Amino acid sequence: MKITPITLPNFAYFESDNVYTGSQQGFRFRVEPQNGQFAACVWYGPYCQEKSEIVASQTFPFDESGRQQAADWLTEQVAAYLQKVSEGTQPDGRRFY
C-alpha cells in the first residue's frame, strides 16, 4: 500500500484566506484558516464536502508549525483509511463484498 504524504501550500497561501482541498484514493480533505487557526476536516467517497459526512476534524495553530501539524495529521488519517481499504473493510467498518 503506497501512501503519498499530504503536502499543503505554503503559509502565505493560507494568510490570504484561501481554502485548500485534496484527495487520495477516495480519501478527501479540506484545510482552511478559521478563527485564527487552521481547520482541517476529512470525509470519504466521491462526493463534495457539502454532500458528505465529515468523519474527522481537527484544528491547529495558525503558523508554519500548525501548517505542518495539519499535513502530518492528514497523512496519518489517509494511512488509516488506506489500511482499512486494503483489509477489505470500508472506513465505516462494513466489509466490501
Q: What does 8-19 look like in DSSP terms, one character per residue?
A: ---HHHHHTT--
1 within domain boundaries:
no
92 within domain boundaries:
no
90 within domain boundaries:
no
CA 20 vs CA 30, 83, 89, 91: distances in Å: 6, 24, 28, 23
pLDDT in tens, the chain (97 residues): 678 899 999 999 999 999 999 999 899 999 999 999 999 999 999 999 999 999 999 999 999 999 999 999 999 999 999 998 888 876 665 554 3
Q: Give the number of domains in the chain.
A: 1
80 within domain boundaries:
yes
6 within domain boundaries:
no
Give the global pTM.
Answer: 0.89
The reported pLDDT for the residue numbered 97 is 38
91 within domain boundaries:
no
HSE of 57, CA atoms in CB hemisphere, 13 A: 11
36 within domain boundaries:
yes
Please give the grid coordinates belonging to residue 56.
474527522
The reported pLDDT for the residue numbered 94 is 54
User: Residue 16 sits in which domain range?
Assistant: 11-84
CA 52 vs CA 1, 8, 18, 22, 94: distances in Å: 25, 22, 21, 15, 17
